[in-house]
Structure 1
Amino acid sequence: MLVSGFTLKAQNFEKDMNTTMYGRNKAVGKYAEIRGIKMYYEEYGKGEPLLIIHGNGGSIKNFVYQIPYFSKKYRVILADSRAQGKTLDNADSLSYEMIADDLNGLLDHLKIKNANVIGWSDGGIEGLLLAINHPDKVKKLAITGANLRPDSTAVDPYVQKMVLSENIKGADSLRRVKNPTAAMKNQLKLMHLLSYEPNIKSSALKKIACPTLVIGGDHDVITTRHTLEIFESIPKAYLWILPNSGHATPLVYKDMFNTVVGNFFSKPYRTIEKEARFM
């Protein structure tokens, strides 16, 4: 049977993430008591702090291609978000605001005044909320595949319907089970989050004071017009839309992603207006 190039590439990504030490490195892995949970986190490298945030249902291992690159220059901090990876949470509810506040708490725990931040997918949402609600903590922010709302104006209609359908099926299945496991409840909680949140007004993005790089694939699950809306709502922002790209920009375009984001962090933000628009 022929296997498409895309399938082979996806298999390679999965293999790399499942065999990496990242996310299960006993030498550096720690837990921090934060806001009623034990948050699992790992640190790599030295230098200016860089917080990297994973997406829904993900974990530290998703950044197998970013950690080696950025840890050469930065103190890279990664955590398994609440109810994901090694960070357990038995509460019934979950919100992006809760996760962003957890990350703020982790920076406090580590006595970090502020950090550069990379957020992918849900991690991008949490990066935006961190910059809105805890502006002193974010020096520069790079987000890819983030959204402000869960409807079809922001999410590709096919994907939005698929997520809602899976959420409804999951809820129905859970009701039929006499004694659902903690894992089943947790999975539904994450799917519910994906289906009905976030609910961030674009006007709230005007509170973001830090320079921000807004990234998306031209065929991302997040529509390009919504990524443009986010970019246009942040006072000091750059926009980068990758051609021939879906949602997994840190994986599929790992080398380009690392270089562009790294340059964004290392160079001063440039205001481009008037005659400067010709350059």
Structure 2
Amino acid sequence: MKARLLLLFLIFSHLLAAQPVPPYGHNPAAGHYQLVRGVKLYYETYGQGPPLLLIHGNGDNISAWAKNIPYFARRYRVIAADSRAHGKSVDAGDSLSFEMMADDFAGLLTSLRIDSAYVMGWSDGGINALALALRHPEKVKRLVATGANLWPDSTALMLSLWRQQQRGYQENKGVKFTDPKRRNDWKVFCLDVFQPHIPLAALRRVRVPAFIIAGDRDVIRPEHTVAIYQSLPRAWLWLVPDSGHATLQEHADEFNRKTDAFFRAKAVLVPAR
């Protein structure tokens, strides 16, 4: 009997291991386009349950969430979107801002007939999550922001990253890009050189619970992350030990469990400060 159970377990484990991993970001079975504010936004949906919007970082796409989507799809209706001018969401415009993208995500949720959603963002996506809560508070139930900054200088970013961005900008600012892809890449790069500009005081208007996360070796200064947390009326803070900027990938299992626990917590108390 035990031998039979062991055999069945091994067969089942083999079948699970043999299941192909979906090509997140390039999955025709889950992918859709939605015209929002003049841009065809590409998004993929997985699972069923309360809606959860995932927003990736600068220069990235839906595939950034490959280690997180399977976990959350067991309990949520995951909506992973390519931001404007990223991935398959083609944007021919000359300008790009976090305000534009926040409005895009609000429009996407409206088009999907979703009144409000849990929102999780990484890096630029974390900025977008905060901007969405500020500009469209009715659309956000709770938010998670990992590796987010509120302004683009060396008081928020680690000096090495800030210098790298400044050097890249100075070396290319006079170039006339004729190739559409390189022109788009430059627009996306410049987004982080000059933005965002969110005052700490503005975060007092975010009434929904927020979970602020960063790695202890993040490219965001830890004191900046703490200041964001302290400025939010209802927030949790997690500085992830032994982690860089990619908390959701470097510590995926713990990240998934902790953020899910935050979404499901019955109450998020006002922290003592």
- Are residue 228 (structure 1) and residue 226 (structure 2) matched? yes
CA positional deviation for 1:47:
0.4
Q: Distance in 1 between matches of 2:50 and 2:232?
A: 24
8 Å contact from structure 2 (residues 212, 236) kept in 1: yes
Q: Distance in 2 between matches of 1:86 and 1:254?
A: 25
8 Å contact from structure 1 (residues 167, 188) kept in 2: no
Q: Distance in 2 between matches of 1:35 and 1:169?
A: 33
Q: Distance in 1 between matches of 2:148 and 2:236?
A: 15
Can you give the 5+ residue segments of structure 1 that lack an aligned partner in the other structure? 1-18
Partner residue in 2 for 1:260 = 258
- Are residue 52 (structure 1) and residue 54 (structure 2) matched? yes
Work out which of the two has the higher radius of gyration on C-alpha atoms and give 1 or 2. Answer: 2
For residues 1-279 of structure 1, the aligned pairs below 5 Å read 20-172=22-174, 174-175=175-176, 180-271=178-269
Q: Distance in 2 between matches of 1:181 and 1:105?
A: 30
**Residues 36/240 of structure 1: CA separation in 2 closer, same or farther (3 Å cut):** same
| SS in structure 1 at match of 2:181 | helix
**What is the identity, as a one-letter code, of the residue corresponding to 1:210?**
V
Q: Distance in 1 between matches of 2:243 and 2:24?
A: 25
| SS in structure 2 at match of 1:270 | coil
8 Å contact from structure 1 (residues 146, 222) kept in 2: yes
Q: Distance in 2 between matches of 1:244 and 1:29?
A: 35
| SS in structure 1 at match of 2:88 | coil
8 Å contact from structure 1 (residues 97, 129) kept in 2: yes
**What is the identity, as a one-letter code, of the residue corresponding to 1:196?**
F
8 Å contact from structure 1 (residues 142, 261) kept in 2: yes
Superposition CA RMSD, Å: 1.4
**Residues 237/83 of structure 1: CA separation in 2 closer, same or farther (3 Å cut):** same
CA positional deviation for 1:26:
0.7
8 Å contact from structure 1 (residues 171, 188) kept in 2: no
How many residues are treated as equivalent by the alignment? 253
8 Å contact from structure 1 (residues 43, 76) kept in 2: yes
8 Å contact from structure 2 (residues 53, 79) kept in 1: yes
8 Å contact from structure 2 (residues 209, 268) kept in 1: no
**CA shift digits 1:51-106 (9 cap, x unpaired):** 00000011001000110000000000011100000011111110011011000000
| SS in structure 2 at match of 1:39 | strand
**What is the identity, as a one-letter code, of the residue corresponding to 1:95?**
S
Partner residue in 2 for 1:7 = none
Q: Distance in 1 between matches of 2:123 and 2:103?
A: 17
Q: Distance in 1 between matches of 2:64 and 2:102?
A: 18
8 Å contact from structure 1 (residues 113, 136) kept in 2: yes
8 Å contact from structure 1 (residues 20, 61) kept in 2: no
Q: Distance in 1 between matches of 2:104 and 2:271?
A: 37
Can you give the 5+ residue segments of structure 2 that lack an aligned partner in the other structure? 1-20
CA positional deviation for 1:272:
5.6
| SS in structure 2 at match of 1:104 | helix
CA positional deviation for 1:267:
1.1
TM-score (norm 2): 0.90
**Residues 160/267 of structure 1: CA separation in 2 closer, same or farther (3 Å cut):** same
**What is the identity, as a one-letter code, of the residue corresponding to 2:109?**
L
8 Å contact from structure 1 (residues 116, 140) kept in 2: yes
Q: Distance in 2 between matches of 1:131 and 1:79?
A: 17
Q: Distance in 2 between matches of 1:30 and 1:45?
A: 15
| SS in structure 1 at match of 2:156 | coil
8 Å contact from structure 2 (residues 233, 270) kept in 1: no
Aligned sequence identity (%): 46
Partner residue in 1 for 2:11 = none
